[in-house]
A and B are shown apart, each in its own frame.
Chain A
Amino acid sequence: MNQFTCPADIPARAGVGFKLAHAADILAAPDRVGFVEIHAENFMGDGGAPHQMLGDVREQLPVSLHGVGLSIGAEGPLDKDHLARLVEVARRYDPGLVSEHLAWSSHGGEYFNDLLPLPYTEGTLSRVSDHINQVQDALGRKMLLENPSSYMAFDESTMDEIVFIRRIVENTGCGLILDVNNVHVSATNLGFTARDYIAAFPLEAVGEIHLAGHAEDADEEGEPLLIDAHDREVAPPVWSLYREVLSRTGAGVPTLIEWDNDVPAFDVLAGEASRADHVMHEVLSRSAA
Chain B
Amino acid sequence: MNDNERRSGADDLPFVAAKQDDFAGAIASRSEVSGVHNGRGRAAADRFRVYKNNVIVSLRDALRTTFTATERLMGEEFFGAAAIAFAERNRPQSPLLFRYGEGFAAFLGTLPGLAEYPFVPEVARIEHARVQAYHAADAPPLAPDILSKVAPEALGETRFSPHPASALLWVPKGGLAAFQANQSPPLPETPAPAALITRPQFDVVVTGLPAPTAQFAEKLMAGAPLAQAAEVDDLDLAQGLGLLLGAGAFTGLVDLSAR
Known contacts A110-B92, A116-B51, A225-B47, A47 near B164 by CB under 8 Å: yes
Name B39's contact: one of A74, A106, A118, A191 (CB within 8 Å).
A191
For residue B164, which residues in chain A have a CB less than 8 angstroms away from its CB? 46-47
Partner of B138, one of A47, A119, A154: A47
Q: Scoring A residues 92 to 135 as 1 if CB is less than 8 Å from chain B, else 0, what string do you get?
A: 00000000000011111111111011110000000000000000
Cβ–Cβ < 8 Å partners of A47 in chain B? 135-139, 164
Quick one: which of B19, B51, B54, B134 contacts A49, CB cutoff 8 A? B134
In addition to A152-B36, A189-B38, 9 A-B residue pairs with Cβ atoms within 8 Å of each other are A47-B137, A48-B165, A75-B21, A107-B23, A113-B58, A113-B97, A114-B58, A116-B51, A223-B38
Pairs A–B under 8 Å by Cβ, sample size 19: A41-B97, A45-B96, A45-B98, A46-B136, A82-B95, A107-B21, A110-B91, A110-B92, A110-B93, A116-B20, A118-B20, A152-B17, A152-B39, A154-B17, A189-B39, A191-B38, A191-B40, A221-B38, A227-B50
Confirm or deny: B35 has a beta carbon within 8 angstroms of a beta carbon on chain A: yes
* Contact indicator B47/A151 (Cβ below 8 Å): yes
Interface centre among A51, A70, A152 (most CB of B within 10 A): A152
> Is B27 in contact with chain A by the CB < 8 A criterion?
yes
Tell me the bound Cα distance from A52 to B137 in angstroms.
11
Given contacts A48-B135, A119-B18, contact A113 B55 (CB under 8 A): yes
B residues with CB within 8 A of A: 17-21, 23-24, 27, 35-40, 42, 44, 46-48, 50-51, 54-55, 58-59, 61-62, 91-98, 134-139, 164-165, 199, 202-203
Are B95 and A41 in contact, CB atoms less than 8 angstroms apart?
yes
Q: Are the C-beta atoms of B20 and A107 separated by less than 8 Å? A: yes
Q: Determine whether the beta carbon of B37 is less than 8 Å from that of A153.
A: yes
* List of A residues within 8 angstroms of B91 by Cβ: 110-112
Given contacts A111-B91, A154-B17, A191-B38, contact A48 B55 (CB under 8 A): no
Chain A residues closer than 8 Å to B23, beta-carbon distance: 107, 116
Which residue of chain A is the closest to B46 with respect to CB atoms? A220
Q: In the complex, A135 Cα to B218 Cα: how many Å?
A: 43
Report yes or no: B37 in contact with A82, Cβ–Cβ below 8 A. no
Are B38 and A219 closer than 8 Å at their CB atoms? Answer: yes
A153 to B40, CA, bound (A): 10
> When the two chains form their complex, are residues A82 and B35 in contact, meaning their CB atoms are under 8 A apart?
no
Which bracket fits the contact residues of A? 35 or more
Q: A41-B95, A111-B95, A219-B47 are in contact. Are A46 and B137 (CB under 8 A)?
A: yes
Contacts of B19 in A (CB 8 A): 75
Q: Is the CB of B95 within 8 A of A106?
A: yes
The 8 A-B pairs with the shortest beta carbon distances in the complex, nearest first, are A69-B95, A190-B39, A45-B135, A110-B91, A47-B138, A152-B47, A46-B137, A220-B46
Closest to A229 in B: B54
Q: Which residues of B contact A189 (CB under 8 A)?
A: 38-39, 47
- Indicate whether A155 reaches chain B with its CB closer than 8 angstroms: yes
> A54 an interface residue at 8 Å Cβ cutoff?
no
Q: Output the nearest chain B residue to A157 by Cβ-Cβ distance.
A: B18
For the complex, is A156 an interface residue (Cβ under 8 Å from B)? yes
In this assembly, does A173 line the interface, its C-beta being within 8 Å of a C-beta of chain B?
Answer: no
Residue of A nearest to B92 (CB): A111
B18 touches A107 (CB 8 A): no
What residues on B are CB-neighbors of A82 within 8 Å? 94-95
- Give every chain B residue within 8 A of A119 (Cβ-Cβ): 18
* Closest-CB distance, B80 to chain A (whole angstroms): 15
* Residue in chain B with minimal CB distance to A85: B96
Q: How far is the CA of A179 from the CA of B51 in the complex (A)?
A: 19
A223, B17: Cα distance in complex, Å:
21
Which residues of chain A come closer than 8 Å to B55, judged between CB atoms?
112-114
Q: Verify A48–B199 contact, CB threshold 8 A.
A: yes
Is A159 part of the contact surface with B, judged by Cβ < 8 Å?
A: no
Report if A68 contacts B (CB, 8 A): yes
A30 beta carbon closer than 8 Å to chain B? no
A50, CB-defined interface residue at 8 Å:
yes
Residue of B nearest to A121 (CB): B18
Known: A104-B20, A153-B39, A192-B39. A50 touches B93 (CB 8 A): no
